[in-house]
Structure 1
Amino acid sequence: MAKKFASQGDMTEKKISFTEVGKDLWAFTAEGDPNSGVIIGDDSVMIVEAQATPRLAGKVIEKVREVTDKPITHVALTHYHAVRVLGASAFNADQIIMSEMARGMVNERGQEDWDSEFQRFPRLFEGHESIPGLTYPTTTFNDRMTVYLGNRRIDLMHLGRAHTAGDIVVHVPDENVMFTGDIVEYHSACYCGDGYFADWGNTLDAIKAYDVDAIAPGRGDALVGSDMVNAAIENTRDFVESTYRPAARVAARNGTLKDAWDAVRAECDPKFADYAIYEHCLPFNVARAYDEARGISHPRIWTDKRDIEMWEQLQS
């Protein structure tokens, strides 16, 4: 292969930031690596996103212990991807919460996704030997559920498909702060390989309707203040649309996947080439956009073998 596959060449440890985005609400970020969120209630703590391994989850726990000694009782997972969920065992939480759709996707493609992401992100999976197995929720819901940590209310909602079919957001009304998972990114490429381009914009609109004061996105810095929040939402929209439009035009004229790759690069490179994991995401994004434009409504399952075949086809 002409360039190292996905993120295999990225072995540099990232600087961790821990930012308060509202009273007793924190965003754990690391220069474009997967983020986690921390919600401190009256008597316990909810974590949003569990990281890829118990080793990385331990870094989140270290930051939590700098600000509270309350027990971690809940882990909310915004979707099924391995880099988000396989560290869950480290928290020893009473409840692990996903949407029912996300649980179904663990059944359908969880092991394939683990194998695939392990190959894509070797740095994130250092210490993988401690992962006990696939992460399954103890609690699921379809459209909406509410958790109370004492008097603190936390609303978990499926607002629509975007990054995956089962995405949820986590909203804390008393501070009007939202944890969006990978539906919203900041100065990081959106991974669209399991996404729904036609739905993503509507889901962003649903988030925007909450007019939140801060967002902890899936990747990138915490977004504090309405200006930063709205800029990130619209930038995410631009990234998704700029990926899909050229691929759809190629598909409409019966062009090839390689044609779609060239067309998407021409539109996206000038705007997004300096974004975190851009080169990693682009081949998977183009493949999914090309599929959706040709009427393949449900994303095909990525496997470690399919990953390499597609990468070599597009990078040749």
Structure 2
Amino acid sequence: MATKPFASSADTEAKQQTLEVLADGVYALTAEGDPNIGAIEGEDFLVAFEALATPVAAREWLTELRKHTDKPIRYLVLSHYHAVRVLGASAFDADIVLAHEKTYELVRERGKEDWESEFGRMPRLAKDADSVPGLTWPTQTFADRTTIDLGGDRGELVLQYLGRGHTEGDIVAWLPQQKILFAGDLVEAQAALYTGDAFHHDWAGPTLDRVKALDAQMLVGGRGAVSRGRAEVEAAIEQTRNFLNVMIEQVGAVHERGGTLKEAFGATHAALVDDYGHWPIFEHCLPFDVSRLWDELSGVERPVIWTAERDRQVWDQLQS
């Protein structure tokens, strides 16, 4: 069988972007399975959530946002460290770049390698890659929870760490007054999961339990459509959990019987493809997902750093 096109290298078609007003002063931009991004108005400032892959891509989003509000951006909140989420940060000219303390450490430890890896995997998202001035460094971090007073009668925005999941440092942005949750890549709504830097058991268990316990009535995941109403929110959370649990079951069974990584990939692909195979980036993600879970089951506590060279090695081994 011929090797499939590497990761998302063959995905060259532009996606239709949709800006949605979720509540007064609460915005989300979705794009048919591309990374989602959002913004929340304070009384006299803006909080931006996520930064996209490059300043050029981010400025296109900001142009749309400016049709609704001209308030200055005081905070740029980053849910985690992955390049396609953070390297557009310079376009926001934010006073404060906020993230979890682990995210800062991960940028220092593997930010450069992740930049090269993700732009190689998803070249379409790296729009005008030369416009990125360098790594994005949080200027303010926290460990468990911090709040932003939005002023007036707008309530507060709660930034919270709910446990290890998609990475070591994922945070969510929660509007308790509006019951709207920006979940980052801890939840995907009808988009495949990338788990190459994940902690699968924590994510599938206590971390998603804590996400669910917030009782959001509207959820913006890392990719996919906005989930509206409790039924859709719970469905998105449980679809995410099921993807993880099927992986754990399939990879775990092959690992326990002394099989190979290639066999684990084949079993996992077969178990997931009918339900998830038509979702965005499924074929792209799965080799890296299975490789990380295999390492985890082998006692590798923290994810091995992905490099452009390692990406190709894993892809060639499993997707051929």
TM range (shorter): over 0.9
TM-score normalized with structure 2 length:
0.97
Per-residue CA deviation, residues 154-213 of structure 1 (Å, 9 max, x unaligned), is 110001011000000011122011101000001100100000111012111101111111
1:158 pairs, out of 157, 161, 181, with 161
Partner of 1:26: 27
Aligned length: 316
1:168 aligns to 2:179 (yes or no): no
1:296, distance to aligned residue in structure 2 (A): 1.3
Per-residue CA deviation, residues 261-315 of structure 1 (Å, 9 max, x unaligned), is 1110111111110000001001001101111112211111100000001100112
CA distance, structure 2, for counterparts of residue 147 and residue 280 of structure 1: 36
CA distance, structure 2, for counterparts of residue 111 and residue 71 of structure 1: 29
CA distance, structure 2, for counterparts of residue 97 and residue 200 of structure 1: 22
Letter in 1 for 2:207: T
Report the secondary structure of 1:66's partner residue.
coil
Partner of 1:132: 133
1:188 aligns to 2:201 (yes or no): no
Aligned residues of 2:77 and 2:98 also touching (Cα < 8 A):
yes
Aligned residues of 1:23 and 1:175 also touching (Cα < 8 A):
no
Partner of 2:268: 264
Per-residue CA deviation, residues 42-100 of structure 1 (Å, 9 max, x unaligned), is 11111100000001111220121111111111100000000000000000000000100
Partner of 2:314: 310
Aligned residues of 2:53 and 2:127 also touching (Cα < 8 A):
no
CA distance, structure 1, for counterparts of residue 67 and residue 231 of structure 2: 29
Partner of 1:301: 305
Segments of structure 1 that go 5 or more residues without pairing to the other structure are none
Aligned residues of 2:110 and 2:305 also touching (Cα < 8 A):
yes
CA distance, structure 1, for counterparts of residue 315 and residue 4 of structure 2: 10
1:284 aligns to 2:288 (yes or no): yes
Aligned residues of 1:21 and 1:215 also touching (Cα < 8 A):
no
Partner of 1:10: 11
Segments of structure 2 that go 5 or more residues without pairing to the other structure are none
CA distance, structure 2, for counterparts of residue 101 and residue 164 of structure 1: 9
TM-score normalized with structure 1 length:
0.98
1:220 aligns to 2:207 (yes or no): no
**After TM superposition, where is structure 1 displaced by more than 3 Å over at least 4 residues in a row?**
none
Partner of 1:178: 181
- How much is the aligned-residue C-alpha RMSD, in angstroms? 1.0
Letter in 2 for 1:171: W
Per-residue CA deviation, residues 209-229 of structure 1 (Å, 9 max, x unaligned), is 111111111000111111110
1:150, distance to aligned residue in structure 2 (A): 2.1
Partner of 1:234: 238
1:22, distance to aligned residue in structure 2 (A): 2.5
CA distance, structure 2, for counterparts of residue 291 and residue 267 of structure 1: 20
Aligned residues of 2:101 and 2:169 also touching (Cα < 8 A):
yes
Letter in 2 for 1:189: A
Q: Which deviates further from its counterpart, 52-61 or 146-155?
A: 146-155
Aligned residues of 1:22 and 1:214 also touching (Cα < 8 A):
no
Aligned residues of 1:46 and 1:74 also touching (Cα < 8 A):
yes
Question: How is 1:67-82 mapped onto 2 (pairs within 5 angstroms)?
Answer: 67-82=68-83
Letter in 2 for 1:221: A
1:118 aligns to 2:122 (yes or no): no
CA distance, structure 2, for counterparts of residue 189 and residue 112 of structure 1: 23
CA distance, structure 1, for counterparts of residue 129 and residue 276 of structure 2: 31
CA distance, structure 2, for counterparts of residue 56 and residue 213 of structure 1: 29
